[in-house]
Every structure is written in structure tokens, then in C-alpha cells.
Amino acid sequence: MIVQTPVYFDRTEEFVSSDSVTLDTLQSVVAYRYIARYAPELSAPFVEADFAFRRKTLSGQKTQRPRWKGCVNRVTNAFPGLVGKYYAFMRSDDAKIRLAQEMVTQIQDSFREDLKRLNWLDEPTREAALDKLGSVTKHIGHSTLEETFPFQLRSDASFVENLQVVSNYELDRDIARIGNSINRDEWVTTGAVVNAFYVPRANRIVLPDGILQSPFFAQDRHFVRNFGSIGSIIGHELTHGFDSSGRHYAGDGNLRDWWSNVTSNEFLKRSEGLVTQYNSYEVLSQTGSGKRLGYTNGKITLRENIADNGGVKIAFAAYQKYTTDQETQDDSSSMSQAERNLSVNVADKLFFISFAQSFCSKRSDASIINGLASNAHTIEQWRVNGVASNSHEFANVFSCPADSALNPKIKHQLW
């Protein structure tokens, strides 16, 4: 059993033991947690109360999403494999999957070369890191496993009652798996999701069909745009295997320390540099008021910042190698003539522009404030600029003046 946040139990015990916490309060907390789980699927008063607190107050969302979106979300959560197969039938194809697989291999190769060059790794740790990288498995597209559903949904039952049937089945299934070997072919998500993942306990990256679309990926555009967007994401997920948490897992997915003391200490020292850097970014309101809402938190975002910086670095190196190995134009007849004729310098710039475009966003003040306190990812503006300021390649491509905001003298990088 892996308990990722043991402090939660310590604080829960303190809360329950406090003289200021009455039995009525505890009962209210338990009742709220149970009701909140199903509130979006209950009658209008529950839906409206849930939206007012969790969406409007905490995130600044102004209007409720259409009910059909909630239904799609619930069905996807209940039957991820089936929905993934249907999405793939409608939107995916073998050529797209093959291109994505090729990019994963290219970026994995780029990471391998990076590990060979890093001078802060001693040889035993380097060999272990290379072994782990070589052991990474990939889930690309969607699950092809056959599924069975040993339960029955009833048309005369309420929507929530049917959701509880599914939830109870999943709980019983998970309990029955305790003590058994892991099915490493099983997907952790549906193929119909716009996201990507790294699973440390399986040493696997997951690239679902849902993210293999614009603006992240397309077959009919200059390859540099794919390297800048989905390539950086692939690099990000691979780097998660070597971040402040993923580094504690070995190539077989088991918790095992494969670091020498010297290299581990160097990792921690370099990590502190990233923490300090990402503690310094001021975050302003996006409403145009210029109001300061706080600062980014380099500690709670460390894992993602390590992955962001490493991902862009190895994706850019993979793009450069691909450019050297191939003609600097895509074979697709759908590509515009303007993209075919890109100069190397313009293409290099387009890599970073494509990376940045993936993070275009607009947030309410409430969403920003909540994210600064709890989100493991740095807010989008500083995810992009933080990576750019650590990149020698970015500074060279855009001719950034020395010691400028995006080309500081000290650059923080692990991988």
C-alpha cells in the first residue's frame, strides 16, 4: 500500500480530536462529502447549490455547463473503455497512431542522449536512469481490451442509483485485486480525453486519442509544430519518471532507491533552484485591472516544473535531429507552400510558439487564487515563460539580450 499524503491522516486526527469540533460538525462534514459526490446529478436545488460553491465561488465560473456535457462526463467515467473505442471509431485512424508512436520513440531517443551527456549524474545512477527510460511502456490511442460488466442498470431506477451500482462494482473489483499482480495492459483512462499521463507504478506514458488533435497534433502541418506541441507533452510525461516523485520508482514500477547519495543530493540542490525560481513569479489578474493576486508556489509545482523544463528541452533536441535526418519539409500534400518554405530560424521559432500556444488560457480571479493555493501546475503564463527563461535554445533562437527576463544569467535545469 502506498500512502502518498500521510500528513492528511495526522491532520484529520487533530481535527477530530479538537475540543472545538462537535459531533454535529463531524456529522455535517461526512454528510456533505457524501452528498457533494452526487450533487451534480441530483435535483435542481442540489445542482444549483453545488455550482454556487464549487464552481462559482471557488473557480469563478459564471454559468453552468449544459446538462449534456455532464452526462457525457459521467458516462465516460463509468465506461471509459467503451467511450474510448467509440471515440476512436469516429475520430482516429491507424496513420495518426503510427505517427504518434514514431514521435514517442524519437523523443525517448532524445532523452537517452541527454542522459548520456548530463555531467551531474554519476555512472551508476546514469546506468539505472538509462535502464528505466528503456523500460518505459506506452499506451497510445485507446484500450483494445475486451470488457465485461457484471452488473445491471435499471431503467426504473434513478440516475444516481445507477451511478451507485457502477461505483459499488468498481469498489468491489478494486478490493478483489489486492494482493494480486498488476495487469500492465490495463488503461488508466479513456481514449476520449484531451490529456496525457505518466503512470509511475507501471513506468508508462499514456497518450490518448483525444489529445492527438489540433492544436497539439496534426498530420497535415509542418513537423516542427507537432514537436513543439505534442512533442513537448511527450517529453513532459517521460520526464515525470525522473521528477521529485517519479525518481523514487524503478524501471519495473516498484518503489526502489536507485540513486547514489552524491547524485541524489545534487538532484535536491538543483531542485531548490527551480523552487526559488518559481516562487518569484508575480501573478496578476487577467481582467485588465492589474491587481496582484499572489505569487506562484515553487514547492507544490516542483514536479510539473521539472517535467515542463525537461520536456521542452528533449523535444527540441528531437526536432533538431529529425530536421538533420530528413528534408526540412513534410511529405504531406496538405501542407501549405508557406510552411514548406520555412527557413530553419523561422522553424525553430515556430517550435517554441507551438509549445506556448498549447497553454493559451483566460482565467477568473477566483480560479487563479484557488490554483495558486492548490494546483500542482504553475499558472500558464509562467509555465511558458519559466521554461523559456531556462532554455539556452530559446535565447539563441530569439536573440534574447543577456541578463534579460527571458535570458537570465542563471538557468535552472535538471534534465
Write the CB contacts of 237 (distance below 8 Å, at least 6 apart in sequence).
196, 197, 198, 205, 206, 207, 307, 311
The DSSP result for 205-271, as a single string, is EEEEGGGSSTTT--SSS-HHHHIIIIIHHHHHHHHHTTSTTGGGB-TTSSB-----HHHHHHHHHHH
Check 41, 209, 237, 304 and give the catalytic one: 237
The CB-side HSE value for 380 (13 A sphere, CA atoms) comes to 13
Residue 308 falls in the annotated catalytic set: yes
Which H or E run contains 351? helix 344-357
In this structure, what C-alpha cell is assigned to residue 376? Answer: 500542482
DSSP 404: B
Q: Would you tell me the crossing angle of helices 344-357 and 302-325 to the nearest 10 degrees?
A: 150
Q: Judge contact between 274 and 303, C-beta under 8 A.
A: no
Write the CB contacts of 125 (distance below 8 Å, at least 6 apart in sequence).
258, 259, 260, 263
Check 308, 330, 339, 348 and give the catalytic one: 308
d(CA 252, CA 232) in angstroms, rounded, equals: 25
What type of residue is 271? S
Percent helix, percent strand, percent coil in the chain, to nearest 5? 55, 5, 35
DSSP 407: B
Count of positions (residues) in the chain:
415
The DSSP result for 172-183, as a single string, is HHHHHTTTSPP-
d(CA 160, CA 363) in angstroms, rounded, equals: 32
What residues form DSSP beta bridges with 404?
Answer: 407
The residues assigned a catalytic role are 237, 308
